[in-house]
Each structure stands twice: as C-alpha cells, then as structure tokens.
C-alpha cells in the first residue's frame, strides 16, 4: 500500500474514520494474508445493490421492474465498479503480496471492484447506513447522471418500444406506404401503427430507417401529450 488510507477514507466520508483498521482491511487483498477484504466485500456488495435500487426507484417512478433491473446492472457490475475505483486511485492504496503486485493485481478490474465494495462495507460498519449511503451517492454521482441521460440518447424506435413494453402493450407495426423520387434520391413514407388501439402516425425520410424513426418520434410526441 503506497498511499495513506486515512486520507482516502476522510475524502470519501468527509471526516476521519473511527476505525482505521477497518479501512485498511477493506484495502487488503486476500493474497496479503488471512485478514483481508473478502467478508467486507460481501457486506458492501449487498449494501451497494440496495442503495442503488432505492435511488433508481425514486428517480424513475414510471420505470418497469425490468427497466430498473437493467439500469442497476449498468451501474453495479465489475467493469463499472472498477472504473469508479480508478477514478479514486484505489489501486494506489491496495495491499497485495509481491506476486500479485508484480502481475499487476492492483490494476485488475476484479481486484478494484472487490476493493470498492469492501470499502463500502467498511464505511457502513464505521459510519452507519447514512454515512455509507452518502459515500455511495458521492462516488456514483456521475454514473447515476449518465444512466438518467440514457433515454435521451436512445433512438425514437427504441424509446417507443420501451414505452409500450412498460405498459404491457403490443409493439408498433411499421409499413412503407410510399416511395417517391429517382433511384439515387428516393424518399420513403412509413406508417407507424399501434395494434392496441389502431393509432397511426406517418414519417418521411431519405431511407426507410429514417422514415421509421420519424414516425416513431411523432407517435411518442402524441403519446406524451395524452399521458
């Protein structure tokens, strides 16, 4: 371990931890000895899943269970946790044996993600649930904002499909109703129809795909007005 764990913990919780030993244990890989972070990782994993689930439930009141599950999986997985761990320079604080260090263990996704979860578990034991939750919200703030912006980056057809699936409605049907123009400059007109109630919207574009996207966008606008 090359950096002071007290400084790391203080930066994460806003005050020195009550037990430095807990923080050091959270940063100790199993290769370094019998007192390591595996048990704290178990605790931190459960706590992290709960806090993220609670936050998603509050931030997305209209989301289905499936959508909430997908969002949580985006946030709580090895790669995502390792990315956050790297943003905290967590690898600089880890204690591993010489063999694990030589093989680059301090930079592995699995080691970093486990250490982050263990640190969450340690902070819970040191500061209680409120302190651990505040720490999670702080370090996951950017990732949570990114998840909240995912819908804006999805194409209209995907957003329309998810809107219908969330309400257990049949998926839309797309039909080309007209093709005009010369071969090199064709225009497509596409009808988007909802089987559930027969509503229809038209879209126009330089390709079938673009026309479908426009018709889906028009349908979404209609649905949002009626929602």
Q: Is the pLDDT assigned to residue 187 strictly greater than 70? A: yes
More reliable by pLDDT, 107 or 55: 55
Q: Which CATH number do you get for residue 128?
A: 1.10.1520.10
**Do 210 and 112 share a structural domain?**
no
Give the tens place of pLDDT for each residue, 108-166.
899 999 999 999 999 999 999 999 999 999 999 999 988 877 665 678 898 899 889 88
- Whole-number percent of the chain with pLDDT over 90: 67
**Do 179 and 116 share a structural domain?**
no
Residues flagged as binding site: 41, 114, 117
**Do 136 and 180 share a structural domain?**
no
Catalytic residue among 4, 24, 38, 45: 45
**Do 88 and 126 share a structural domain?**
yes
In sequence order, what are the residues at sequence separation of 6 or more whose Cβ sits closer than 8 angstroms to the Cβ of residue 215?
Answer: 174, 190, 191, 192, 201, 202, 203
State the average pLDDT over residues 91-105: 81
Q: Is the pLDDT assigned to residue 82 strictly greater than 60? A: yes
**Do 174 and 91 share a structural domain?**
no
State the average pLDDT over residues 16-24: 95
**Do 145 and 37 share a structural domain?**
yes
Q: What does the mean pLDDT of the chain come to? A: 90
Q: Is the pLDDT assigned to residue 177 strictly greater than 70? A: yes
Q: Which of 119, 151, 183 is the last residue of a domain?
A: 151
Q: Which of 136, 151, 166 is the last residue of a domain?
A: 151
The pLDDT of residue 54 is 96
Residues flagged as binding site for Mg(2+): 41, 114, 117
Q: Give the chain's domain count.
A: 2
**Do 205 and 107 share a structural domain?**
no
- Taken in order 79, 84, 86, 90, the sign of the CA dihedral is negative
Q: Partners of 203 in the beta sheet?
A: 190
State the average pLDDT over residues 97-109: 77
**Do 38 and 10 share a structural domain?**
yes
**Do 187 and 81 share a structural domain?**
no
**Do 119 and 66 share a structural domain?**
yes
Q: Burial of 188 by CB count in 10 Å (0-12 exposed, 13-18 middle, 19+ buried)?
A: buried
Residue 151 a catalytic site member? no
**Do 113 and 62 share a structural domain?**
yes
Catalytic residue among 24, 117, 212, 217: 117
**Do 101 and 41 share a structural domain?**
yes
Confidence band of 1 (pLDDT split at 50, 70, 90): very low
Q: Which of 14-28, 95-109, 136-150 has the highest mean pLDDT?
A: 14-28
The DSSP H or E segment spanning 175 is strand 173-180
Q: Burial of 157 by CB count in 10 Å (0-12 exposed, 13-18 middle, 19+ buried)?
A: buried
Q: Is the pLDDT assigned to residue 105 strictly greater than 90? A: no
Q: Which of 132, 151, 170 is the last residue of a domain?
A: 151
Task: Answer yes or no: are the C-beta atoms of 110 and 78 closer than 8 Å.
Answer: yes
Q: Which CATH number do you get for residue 182?
A: 3.30.160.20
Report in angstroms the alpha-carbon separations of 6 from 16, 43, 77, 154: 7, 21, 27, 42
Question: Residue 117: which domain range?
Answer: 5-151
More reliable by pLDDT, 112 or 69: 112
Residue 45 a catalytic site member? yes
């Amino acid at each position: 371990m090359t950096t002071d764990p007290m400084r790391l913990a203080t930066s994460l919780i806003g005050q020195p931890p009550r037990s430095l030993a807990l923080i050091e244990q959270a940063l100790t890989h199993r290769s370094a000895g019998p007192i390591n972070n595996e048990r704290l990782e178990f605790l931190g994993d459960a706590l992290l899943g709960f806090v993220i689930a609670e936050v998603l439930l509050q931030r997305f009141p209209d989301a289905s269970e499936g959508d909430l599950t997908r969002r949580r999986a985006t946030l709580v997985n090895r790669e995502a946790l390792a990315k956050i761990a790297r943003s905290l320079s967590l690898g600089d604080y880890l204690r591993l044996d010489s063999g694990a260090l030589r093989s680059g263990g301090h930079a592995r996704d699995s080691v970093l993600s486990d250490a982050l979860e263990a640190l969450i578990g340690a902070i819970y034991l040191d500061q209680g649930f409120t302190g651990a939750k505040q720490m999670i919200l702080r370090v996951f703030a950017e990732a949570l904002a990114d998840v909240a912006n995912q819908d804006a980056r999805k194409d209209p057809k995907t957003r329309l499909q998810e809107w219908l699936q969330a309400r257990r409605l049949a998926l839309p049907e797309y039909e080309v109703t007209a093709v005009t123009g010369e071969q090199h400059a064709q225009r497509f007109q596409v009808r988007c129809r909802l089987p559930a109630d027969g509503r229809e919207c038209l879209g126009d574009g330089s390709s079938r795909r673009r026309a479908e996207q426009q018709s889906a966008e028009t349908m979404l606008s209609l649905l949002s007005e009626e929602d």
